[in-house]
Structure formats: C-alpha cells, structure tokens
Amino acid sequence: MRHTLTPGDDTLHGHFSPDLPPVLTIDPGDSVTYRTLDCWWSAGPYPGGPNRERPRVAQHRPDHGHALIGPVAVRGARAGQTLAVRIDTVVPGNWGTTVAGGWPSGFNKHYGVQEHQVVHAWTLDPVSMTGRNQHGHTVPLRPFMGVLGMPPAEPGLHSTTPPRPWGGNLDCRDLTAGSTLLLPIPVDDALFSVGDGHAAQGDGEVGGTAIECQMDEVTLTFDVRDDFPVTGPVARTPDAWLTLGVGTSLDDATFTALDSMLTLMQRLHGLSRADAVALASIAVDVRVTQIVNQTVGAHAVLRDDALRWPDADSVGGLR
C-alpha cells in the first residue's frame, strides 16, 4: 500500500522523541510518499540577508531543529530488529539555500568566518538536475535526505542535530534514490521520521549546510528484518555497500564504520576477521561523511567492482 504525508500541524515536528504519537501506521512492505520542507522551516525562497530573518511556516518554534515529517509507525516492528528503508524517489523543489559563516562553531572558527555570513540562493532544475546560484555558479544536483531515522529509547525530546546509531542527521550524500538504508530499531513501532532535503552536498558538508531545499516528492518503502542484524547504519547503494559510523572524533567514527564493514564482509562472504581486515585494506575506501553536526560521521565504502568474489552472486543484493 502507498501512503502520503505532507507538511502540516499534525505531521511536522522539530525533535526526535519516543513519546511522539505516530501520524501514520503502516505495514511492512508499504511505501510512503512525502513532501518536505527545507531544514529551516522556510515558507518560501530566501534571497539573502541574515538567516534568522527568513520567513518560516507557522508551525516553527524557536527550540525546533530540522523540520521533520512523521513519525511513521511500522506495525510489528520491535526494538532490536532492523528497519530497511528503500529510497525509491527523491525529487527536489525549484529553489534552495546555502548558508556559510556567521555563527560560532569550531569549523567556522577554523575558517575565520564566525563574524561573516554569506547566503547563496539557488535556482534548481529537477529536469536537467542542475542548480545555479545568484553569482552564476552551476552545480549538478544529486538529491538525498539528510535526516532519516528513529528516536533514542530514552523519554523526552532529543535534538535533531547529531546523528545516532538509529539514523537521524546522517548527511550521507550517497543515500540517493535506488539505495536501501538499514538501521537498528531502538523503539517498538520504529517511529521513523524524515527531513532535511539536500539538492547537492560534498563529502564532509564542510560549511555546515548543503543546498538545503524542500522536496516535492520523497518515496520510501519500509520493511522489518530479523535476518540482517546491524548495530549502526548500513546502506546498499546501486553499486556498493556502505557502513556508517558516528562519534565524538573522526577516529571514533572511522573505526565504528570499519568495524561494521568488517562484520558485513564476514557475514556476506564467510571470511575470518583477519581476512576481512586484509581485504578491506585493499578494497575499502574510508570517507568523511560530515564534520559539522556535533557528532561527526565517517563511512566505509566497498564498491562492487573493488574485488572479484568467489560468491559474486551475493554481492549485489541484500540477503
């Protein structure tokens, strides 16, 4: 079955919380098509000026983080199982914004731009998949959702800013249409939310924002799995496996991502741990996911063409 969710009083929220009631309950195998706001709850295109002066929708509150849609309950999902989220469609709107500098942060301090802010207003073309800013810079679009996840099990409100093992503000540019994200379920019914559309972003999201945009259509298909346990985010893209790690440092995030990748390689190919380490040193790439969300992220990538496996038929799909 296919369901639809759009921004409104009942669907918008600015925190993760296991206490939020679901706005929709679906069965495993169902799809949900969303329309989302940009991360700032913008009411429309923003041409520039101080970011705090942008027009926002009526549902925004000063303590809100990203504009999220949900939560969606998945019937029968239980804490400890794995939620599989297939990303079927991601279609951006026709405008977006990038903000750099102008607020206190470790990275802005390093760059020397804490006191100087710029706003790039982008016109987006979802047909040609290009974006152009007011200065004439043009970039290819590669749209994805920055926030995909579930709340911690602890009661209360939790910030949308840091990514967690159960997803959230992952900001992984490889989670485009055609990918499937696997997450450990922290609470019964899953209570999944999505938001923070990005039309384009580099690895690292080094300035703190991507091309932040509303999404005209995001379609996700949900399943619950008992046969594929994960301890953090794992993704299957059209041509690779990704394992994501988060931590207080890039070292911590990297080794979390690599630990997950080694476990995945052992599971898929029957390797010993030492053999997995040896092959990972040859074939696995480590990338910086983001350095700007309080908790930083790294991801390990094993491309399908990096190794020729004896059991090559197992590489391309989830099993």
Class of residue 271 by CB neighbours under 10 A (exposed 0-12, middle 13-18, buried 19+) = middle
CA distance linking residue 131 with residue 126, whole number of Å: 9
Q: How much is the pLDDT for 203?
A: 98
CA distance linking residue 260 with residue 271, whole number of Å: 14
% of the chain with per-residue pLDDT over 90: 92
Q: Is residue 318 scored above 70 in pLDDT?
A: no
**23, 70 in Cβ contact below 8 A?**
yes
Residue type, 231: T
Residue type, 7: P
Q: Across the chain, what does the average pLDDT equal?
A: 95
Task: Give pLDDT tens digits for 196-236.
Answer: 999 999 999 999 999 999 999 999 999 999 999 999 999 99
Mean pLDDT of 179-196: 98
Task: Give pLDDT tens digits for 125-183.
Answer: 999 999 999 999 999 999 999 999 999 999 999 999 999 999 999 999 999 999 999 99
Q: What's the pLDDT band for 316 if we cut at 50, 70, 90?
A: very low
CA–chain centroid gap for 283, Å, is: 24
H-helix or E-strand spanning residue 160: none
Report cis status (omega within 30 of 0) of the bond before 71: yes
Q: CA dist 290 to 157, 161, 201, 211, 237, Å?
A: 23, 12, 10, 14, 19
Contacts of 60 (CB under 8 A, 6+ apart): 14, 41, 67
DSSP state of 211: S
Q: How much is the pLDDT for 217?
A: 98
**33, 3 in Cβ contact below 8 A?**
yes
- Largest Cα span, the chain: 58
Q: Is residue 47 scored above 80 in pLDDT?
A: no
Q: How much is the pLDDT for 310?
A: 80
Domains of the chain with bracketed CATH: 2-13+22-158+189-224 (2.60.120.580), 239-308 (3.10.28.20)
